[in-house]
Amino acid sequence: MKKIKALFAVAALIISTTVAFAQNIRVTGVVSERNGDSINGAAVQLKGSATVYAMTDATGNYAISVPKDGVLVVSCLGYETVEVPVNGRNFVNITMDTDAELLDDVIVVAYGTVRREANTGSVTTMKKEGLAEAPISSVDKLLAGKMAGVQVTSSTGQPGAATDIRIRGISSLNAGNQPLWVVDGIPVESGDQSIFTNTSNAMTAINPNDIESITVLKDAAAASIYGSRAANGVILVTTKSGKSGRAQFNARVKFGASYLANDNNFTIMNGEQLVTWQREAAQNAGYNPDDPTSPYYRPYSLITGELNNWMKNFTRLGFLQEYEINAAAGSDKGKFYSSISYQKNDGITYGTDFQKLTARVNSDYKLTKTLEIGTRINLGYTESNDTPMQSLYYSNPFFAGMTVLPWTPLYDEDGNYNVNIPENSNTNPLYTATHDDQWEKQFRVHGTMFLQWEPVRNLVFKTNNSVEGTFGEGRRYWAPDPGDSEGTLQTSNTQYLTLTTSNTITYNFSAANNNVRVMAGQEAMRRSFYYYYAYAPTVDAQIPYLNTSVAADDSVDYEANYRTLLSFFGMLDYNYDNRYFLTASLRGDGSSLFGSKNQWGLFWSVGGSWNVTNEAFMKSTSKWLSLLKIRASYGVNGNNNISPYRAYGVYASTAYNGGNGTLPSSPDNESLSWEKNYTWNVGLDAGFFDHRLNLQFDVYSRKTTDMLLSKQVPQTSGFSSNFMNIGSMRNNGVEIQLDGDIIRNSNVVWNAGFNFSYNKSTILDLGDTDEMTYADDSRIKHKVGERFYTFYLKDYYGVNPSNGSALWRHHEYDENGNITSTTLTSDYNKASYIYAGSPEPKFTGGFNTSVSWKGLTFSAFFEYKYGNKVLIIENRYINSDGSQMSMNQSTRGLNYWKNPGDTGVFPKLVAGNSSNSYAMPSTRWLQDGSYIRLKDITISYNLPEKWVKAIMLKGVKVYASALNLYTLHDVDFWDPERGLDGMGYGVYPMTKSFVGGVEVSF
Amino acid sequence: MKKSIYLVLIVASVFAVSCKDFLKEEPFLTQSNALALSDYNGLNKAVAGAYSPLADGVWYGADYVLTSEMRAENATIPTNTDFQSGRYQQPFYMTYSADATVGIWGYGYYVISAVNNVLEEIETRGIDSYVDSSVSEQDIYNLQAECLFLRALAHFDMARIYAYSPAKAAVVGFDDCIPIILKTDKTAQEQPARNTVAEVYAQIEKDLTDAESLMAASYTRKSIADAKAAASLPAIQALLSRVYLYDQKWQLAADYATKVIENSNYKLWTAAEYPSVWGQSTGGSEVIFEIYGKQANSYDEYWEGPSHMTNPKGYADCAASAALVSLFEEGDVRGTTGVRDTDDGKVMFCTDPDEASGGEFWTRMYMGKGECDATSTPDVNKLIFLRLSEMYLNRAEALVNGASISGATALNDLNTIRSNRGASALTSAGAAAVALERRLELNFEGHYWFDLGRNAAGAITYVDSRRGDNVDATSKFWALAIPKREYDVNVNLSHNPGF
């Protein structure tokens, strides 16, 4: 220890001696922009010294002690660095020019920020602009169609719903496919964590308006530093901080209405249509519809009474309201941002609503010249009510609405909701919505505190520590049928708690034209989960809570687990003369999830780029070519998204002979390890005409190896399969993002952007087998050589024009699997299964445009998806060709075979037929799911300053938006979006919304 | 400065030490293998659990017994095809292949691995490590004996299905049996080859004789509903008697049968008791070892269990054949016939009261097990594996084949049974009489197929014209195919002739 002290002493002596030799003077001054605005946080440094520097305060003032003949180097992010000789002056004011190229071009990346120019990986960013207007419940919805390579799929339009995000395709069968969300440097919970509700979304706890920027890390160079969690990409969210200068205060209100989207004229039959249809079906089956003894007695008198459109009965106009107040302020010492918001969204069906309350405090404070502390605290409370959906169940309004018969009355004789609906198992979704409960209440808290120490300029120690908790309560209550007194109650209580510590050291230095940034870090994470569940089938309907349950009937359950992650990582950024850039990262992750032999994994990446425009020989083109950069990267990262304890061989309880024993329930798996992703990426960034037109182009290939699959093992081991790292697959793709300012002058700004992503997945190896069945539905297969999801359906041909019966193709195959002959058959059992395409789109993207003229801004945003197949499962019932005689039908079914020679029609109607013409695993119901959606169209107006000032305000903005105003598609359903697998059924469809709001700032 | 450096050093060293522990998260709602077997209670529970898969549907949950009866033509599918559910076609038409065979392979080895884990853990830790003031060495021996009994039983049942019996193996000239597994392969990578028939029978006999020497005569498993659904010394001896019979070691078969016969805890049901004992949910006075079938089991077959399968109002796929029912003489309680519902608890074969099944007879051996109506879930699906009358039959057969037991004759043994069944006394007892008595006494308990299979000359000439080819003495069906999925992952397995 003494030796170290001595060493420090000598070093200090040398430094102080050097300084002492020169004659130092004290220099003060103000650093400002050309317009006179002071610049806070600029570094004023003695040229050639790493230790002598000062930072400007909130009013731009600095003070530094330097030699008389020294040179001051003044630098600040977003400004061009200037050098000013002191020349013996004691007072030096310095003016800085904004760096046209760099302004707004600092992007948040893993563990820091980087100038876009220096970035070597594939990243996409989105800034806060435009975040505020859209009436969305969570930030993930905002990404839909906005970023190349980021596919956001909604499987339901329910308020507060989860989304499925796939960055550059799907990579895993048995580990997760969702990206890692990192908020202010800390990985957070995402996805659906509810127990009883149809959907929920952890991201709703974050107020989208609190977000400053979003960065999506797509390739290995950008994401690999997140190691074993980076395989599906990383989404970095940075929340707002205060700004030094005048305090800002904003208030915002928003109101809107929503209703069921239906842009392809999809309707159900009215009474007259249905009775005609049913009578024809009955007659074709040999029954007289006017004979009261016939099983298909369908007289015209059915439609003489009250008729209902049940879809209308079950849906309503949804209402949205949102209120928010936020404030931001700052001084040279500290800054803060704070917001509170409330949103309530009443859904388009009865019993469906979503409420949330969020509050945030972000604060930063400089404790000393070298020490800075900051906190990020977010509270979110969400309450979600819904009714059973996502199944073709009687109480689902979106299914019952299409199937309950038009002549069934809505109310009974007493004026109560009619529950005597035999065709719907005597279930009335309106009765369900008013009597039953299905909800989830979640309280989420995320608190982060960081401490940053910069003992020497450009050497930063940072420790970032966080606690994130989710506390959920769920309830599902089935009220008794009218007249009964006991209901069925299920309740749940869940908790997730994650502790994270992230500690880094960063050092930047420059020598000649060499610029280096090195970072080393360590992280540790521990996450716990528990879940209590109680089931009480006999609670008192008057007091429907657990306290009235009959203990003998009840059952309870408990689940809990822990997982830990320990990581060490490092990163190197190097650039030579802003022309040649190199980034390398390395991370070692140790995880409790994996086997003792593979607990530690090593992940790495290398990326390089060449900024051609900074070469001397490019001077001649700089007039029109403002940026040309070529990027390339390669690396490996991992997917550890599996449930805990899979590596352990365990004994589980087994009941036998009146007692409990134990049996081996899963084999030891000491070798269990992460799935690995090897990704290469080649990209090009170009800017033209002073960055008025910008292009980003990427080509990638992402190979997943060591995919976790259940491998068949000899049963002599006592087990039949073991979870092993054996499969592989690939995603190849191209991404293009193009943004341009078409007009840019002092009066009018018109810009437009376009993005395009193409991704193709291919399964390469499934271990023992070359085909597996999709876990959720056997109508999709995972097959070697095909896309990840491939529909496997009976090959429907159409209608036999001579007799109206359904025809399928029957194929004969040779030993190589090639078709040798095809015959048509009306026997469903003889129909051949074929691989009928994929629900994965061939390409996706969006385009946007916005025009501003004085205070008026008009913007529009379109999203598109092309080449994906969807399977409409509901058709089995609502286009039943007569087999469903007690359900209402889709009007598509009116186009059925009537006369010999009819083609392109549905089969002949036969009441109660069992031809299986309507059966589900059939290409008959497979449709092209491509669409273009006018997702958002907004007009906003900033009131002129002179009017606003007159009422003592800083700004007033009014706006109106329409969401999902129109969708161009060919799907015979309300809406073309059917989830990732293209077969989501019974879901709450997309809605159209109209929203208006006012934002006032003080 | 000094303080902070110390702090850094302390934190770093604590960190380095705790690194390994930090990443160790063990399951606690299930038990890791190491923990599960670390004390006596753990061992005891693991042994209790090892019985559990015996009740699976492919084994004594129905199939192992009922498909055997079907192959041997004690059982038949109903002639009215609208009536049945379509189950049990395979053993009726004998359409066995590697893709479609008897499925006990996985469950047999599952039980074997469960007991091997226990045996191995006791060996590794040493008996002493389990012994304390409340646990004696004998307690551990008893558990070891139960494990050995189950291991022998599992090997035996698989050998009976997937390999020729010792006698047939010699005639056919194919003596590959099943792989003997005495240690669990924790890596699940090993691809064991098949042992010979002689090796497998030797191992089964060794396990059982070891079990016999380890188990206390008075031992019965505690805290269970049915004491006869767990191994006991008489159960070990009774199984040994049967295994020796299959191995044609006549004297040993007779010796062990005698041990059980002389055990005063067991006595034959009387003719008056006989028709009603089958409805009991736990074993009667004859029962030595049975499989406990109740809905509360983790392995329970509900609708697929034997009571629903032999119920004309249930799935109704497993009727009693005319060939069987016609064998009984007048007055023999084992062959009495009547009408279901009317004659419940009085007769053994009933017709359907609605006569919808076309005059088919249905065994009432699995009656009462769940009240047998088609609408409620069958609850009790108990199956008897070893009972006293089999011991008399084993001994009679051994005596006919040259064994000798002082004071015992085959004729006496058969007549002892017959006098308790209301059947007339025989005057002589040759091999054919013993075999017939065995078929009558043990019908629908899964014996007849294997009794034919363990004799070199055993063969079946089907009576029912719907059936396919007869099963001759060297037919491939006496050694059914090992499941194909096992060949896919084990290259060292040989194929049975004809599959």
Residue B1 has pLDDT above 90, yes or no: no
Q: Are the C-beta atoms of A681 and A609 separated by less than 8 Å?
A: no
Contact A714 B46 (CB under 8 A): no
Distance CA(A202)–CA(A137), nearest Å, equals 10
Locate the chain B residue with the closest alpha carbon to A567.
B19
Which residues are CB-contacts of A946 (< 8 A; sequence separation ≥ 6)? none
Closest to A230 measured CA to CA, from A569, A658, A627: A569
Average pLDDT over residues B64-77: 96
Neighboring chain B residues of A650 at a CB cutoff of 8 Å: 27, 30-33, 36
- Residue A18 is predicted with a pLDDT of 44
Contact A716 B189 (CB under 8 A): no
Q: Which helix (H) or strand (E) holds B172?
A: helix B166-172
- Separation in Å, CA B197 to CA A973, B178, B194, B386, B459: 65, 8, 9, 23, 20
Distance CA(A195)–CA(A128), nearest Å, equals 33
Q: What is the CATH number of domain B1-59+103-224?
A: 1.25.40.390
Contact A657 B48 (CB under 8 A): yes
Strand, coil or helix: what is A705? strand
Q: Is A445 on the interface with B (CB under 8 A)?
A: no
- Residue A577 is predicted with a pLDDT of 87
Closest Cβ–Cβ partner in A591, A650, A722 for B23: A591
| Window A:509-538, CB contacts with B under 8 Å | 524, 526
Using a 10 angstrom Cβ sphere, with 0-12 exposed, 13-18 middle and 19 or more buried, the burial of residue A307 is: middle
Neighboring chain A residues of B110 at a CB cutoff of 8 Å: 663-664, 715, 718-719
CB pairs under 8 A between A and B: 182
B372-396 pLDDT, tens digit per residue, is 454 556 677 789 999 999 999 999 9
Q: Taking chain A (1002 residues) in consecutive chunks of 10 residues, what is each chunk's mean pLDDT?
A: 48 44 78 79 82 81 87 81 86 78 67 80 75 72 85 87 91 91 94 92 92 90 90 93 83 94 94 96 94 93 93 95 93 91 96 96 92 96 94 92 95 91 92 94 96 91 96 96 90 97 92 90 96 94 93 89 95 91 94 90 94 88 89 94 88 91 88 93 92 93 93 91 91 95 88 94 91 90 95 96 95 91 93 95 93 90 95 93 94 94 93 88 95 93 87 88 94 92 91 93 86
Contact A657 B32 (CB under 8 A): no
The sign one gets for the Cα dihedral B392, B395, B399, B401 is: positive
| Window A:563-622, CB contacts with B under 8 Å | 563-564, 566, 590-592, 599
Strand partners, A676: A638, A705
Query: Can you give the residue ranges of every domain in chain B?
Result: 1-59+103-224, 80-92+226-468
Neighboring chain A residues of B46 at a CB cutoff of 8 Å: 651, 661-663
pTM (predicted TM-score): 0.83
Q: Across A91-100, A576-585, B354-363, B435-444, which has the greatest mean pLDDT? A: B435-444
Q: Which of B30, B177, B490 has the highest number of chain A CBs within 10 A, making it the mutation to test binding with A? A: B30
Amino acid at the residue A450:
F
Contact B490 A524 (CB under 8 A): no
Distance CA(A420)–CA(A430), nearest Å, equals 13
CATH C-level class of B80-92+226-468: mainly alpha
> Which range (A979-983, B14-18, B119-123, B415-419) has the least confidence?
B14-18
Q: Quote the minimal CA–CA distance from A596 to chain B in Å.
A: 9
Contact B42 A662 (CB under 8 A): yes
Q: Quote the minimal CA–CA distance from B146 to chain A in Å.
A: 14
Neighboring chain B residues of A563 at a CB cutoff of 8 Å: 25
Average pLDDT over residues B401-418: 96
Q: Are the C-beta atoms of A823 and A122 separated by less than 8 Å?
A: no
Contact A718 B109 (CB under 8 A): yes
- Residue A55 is predicted with a pLDDT of 82
Neighboring chain A residues of B109 at a CB cutoff of 8 Å: 715-718
Closest Cβ–Cβ partner in A661, A712, A714 for B49: A661
Average pLDDT over residues B113-138: 95
| Window A:307-366, CB contacts with B under 8 Å | none
Neighboring chain A residues of B181 at a CB cutoff of 8 Å: 716
Distance CA(A155)–CA(A976), nearest Å, equals 10
Q: Is B449 on the interface with A (CB under 8 A)?
A: no
Residue B324 has pLDDT above 90, yes or no: yes
Locate the chain B residue with the closest alpha carbon to A599.
B23
Distance CA(A825)–CA(A807), nearest Å, equals 5
Distance CA(A283)–CA(B365), nearest Å, equals 51
Locate the chain A residue with the closest alpha carbon to B484.
A714
- Residue B156 is predicted with a pLDDT of 98
Q: Quote the minimal CA–CA distance from B153 to chain A in Å.
A: 15
Contact B190 A716 (CB under 8 A): yes
Q: Quote the minimal CA–CA distance from A651 to chain B in Å.
A: 5
- Residue B9 is predicted with a pLDDT of 56
